[in-house]
Structure 1
Amino acid sequence: MNILITGASRGIGRELVLKFAQNPNSTIVVLTTNSEQLNSLAIECLEVFNNSIIFHSINFLSENINQELAKLFESINLNFDIVINNAGKLINKPFLQNTLKELEELNKINIYGPYLVCQQIIGKYANKNCHIINIGSMGGVQGSVKFPGLSIYSLTKAALANLTECLAEEFKDTGIKINCLALGSAQTEMLEEAFPGYKSTVSAKEMAEYIFQFSISSGKFFNGKIIPVSVTTP
């Protein structure tokens, strides 16, 4: 099984890599911006599970990201069974204080990145019945509770959810399944940075376990769905 995970240097992404690495027959490709943390993750996978992950540093803010991704996937030359678009950025800041630069950065990381990865995978590098999971947020779900300071983050996650529905419809006859998991809070470094002092009841490891199981087993039952993964209501 070939797995691609973006944004895996910490938090849920890192836990996902460790979970998939337990299967010695899996080939795991990781794309993230922090190569130093990826080095330690690769060592841990090798020492604990005897599984060598393939990792590449990628900057979704690059002006040439499309060409860089095309060249990267060509060099990797694998067809994937599972793709998890986990890379993301969160800013907690009052709406009137948000800058155009911040808006552009979150759009590039939270929307353009998954969009371009999906374009590469669906176009050339998807195995039959490939399951693509876009990691969204409850903040991007219509009718869910919204929080002050998360306007940019929430709008990008809403766009990702909509993209999921569009792609699933467009490629429904190919066998590729595309779903979006709208996550509630999980105790990650990103959450701690955005909400200092807040403690989630769900750990990064627990959330990764759910995503892992969903990615393996749920492509048969879901396509084009935005699935809330949250203990809060509505």
Structure 2
Amino acid sequence: MKNVIITGTSRGIGLELVKYFAEAGHQVLALSRNEKPISDLKLKNVATFCFNLEEDADFEKVNRFVKENWKQVDVLIHNAGALVNKPFSELTKADFQTVYKTNVFGVAQLTQTILPFMLKGSHMVTISSMGGIQGSMKFPGLAAYSSSKGAVITLSELLAEEYKESGIAFNVLALGAVQTEMLEEAFPGYIAPTTAEGMASYIFNFSLTGHAFYNGKVLQVSSTTP
């Protein structure tokens, strides 16, 4: 049984991930601004509470939960994401701040919160995007989103180097298009080749086994080219 923390669990990939881990018998802390979709499922071994990556006080709630209930964290999955689809000329400073607070600053702060509880063999998985891969195909309107996803790729690589003696693995999955609510909101009518459930299955397995083979790596998880 593993102790697993997942962010962005109110819908899409995050919600499906919670189901996979719960059904496999693992302990899960599901974090999202809206905890109701998870609490309504009444899954065994799953704890949830409202968590906002922009609120410092919420990180203390996570710290307190782990101290009082688990003492250690085996898997941390940074799945929460914010996306703004606007022409670059229309993007405001507030738009960039909104995206980066969730996709970069929140990832960094939650990592700092959880690292003291991670031991040799623990695995941190950050969900990025193909749009954050240097040299990949880019899409107009995603300057804030894709640049933030590039930032967390570099962050993970740096963490793998800084903590290489700890035995903790830090890896990134750069996803292609997945049929989620966030994708539909950003690109109405677009049909992705991969379902949220299917991608969650892949991430579930990788988070439990990938650390034995990878550290500081970025895996491109996309069935389309480019």
Contact 2:52/2:58 (<8 A) preserved = no
Aligned equivalents of 1:174, 1:203: Cα separation in 2: 35
Secondary structure of 2:194's aligned partner: coil
After TM superposition, give the deviation of residue 60 of structure 1 in Å.
1.6
Aligned equivalents of 1:173, 1:210: Cα separation in 2: 28
Aligned equivalents of 1:88, 1:152: Cα separation in 2: 12
Secondary structure of 2:216's aligned partner: coil
Aligned equivalents of 2:62, 2:125: Cα separation in 1: 20
What letter is aligned with 1:27?
Q
Pair 1:40-2:40 in alignment: yes
What letter is aligned with 1:107?
Y
Aligned equivalents of 2:60, 2:158: Cα separation in 1: 22
Aligned pair partner of 1:140 in 101, 122, 132: 132
Aligned equivalents of 2:146, 2:219: Cα separation in 1: 16
* CA-based RMSD: 1.2
Aligned pair partner of 1:131 in 123, 148, 164: 123
Aligned equivalents of 2:180, 2:160: Cα separation in 1: 29
Matches within 5 A, 1:214-233: 214-233=206-225
Worse-matched range after superposition: 156-165 or 74-83: 74-83
Aligned equivalents of 1:217, 1:75: Cα separation in 2: 25
Worse-matched range after superposition: 183-192 or 111-120: 111-120
Aligned equivalents of 1:183, 1:72: Cα separation in 2: 27
Give the corresponding residue for 1:17: 18
Aligned pair partner of 2:162 in 156, 160, 170: 170
Aligned equivalents of 1:71, 1:90: Cα separation in 2: 26
Aligned equivalents of 2:65, 2:221: Cα separation in 1: 35
Q: Deviations over 1:101-140 (max 9, x none)?
A: 1110111000011111111121x21132100000000000
Q: Deviations over 1:13-56 (max 9, x none)?
A: 000000001123x1100111012223223x2x2xxxxx131112
Matches within 5 A, 1:63-78: 65=56, 67-77=57-67, 78=70
After TM superposition, give the deviation of residue 71 of structure 1 in Å.
4.1
Pair 1:96-2:89 in alignment: yes
Pair 1:204-2:196 in alignment: yes
Pair 1:107-2:107 in alignment: no
Give the corresponding residue for 2:49: 56
Secondary structure of 2:160's aligned partner: helix
Aligned residues: 222
Structure 2 unaligned blocks of 5 or more: none
Pair 1:82-2:82 in alignment: no
Give the corresponding residue for 1:48: none
Structure 1 unaligned blocks of 5 or more: 46-50
TM-score by length of 1: 0.92
TM-score by length of 2: 0.95
Secondary structure of 1:132's aligned partner: strand
Contact 2:76/2:125 (<8 A) preserved = yes
Aligned equivalents of 1:52, 1:216: Cα separation in 2: 17
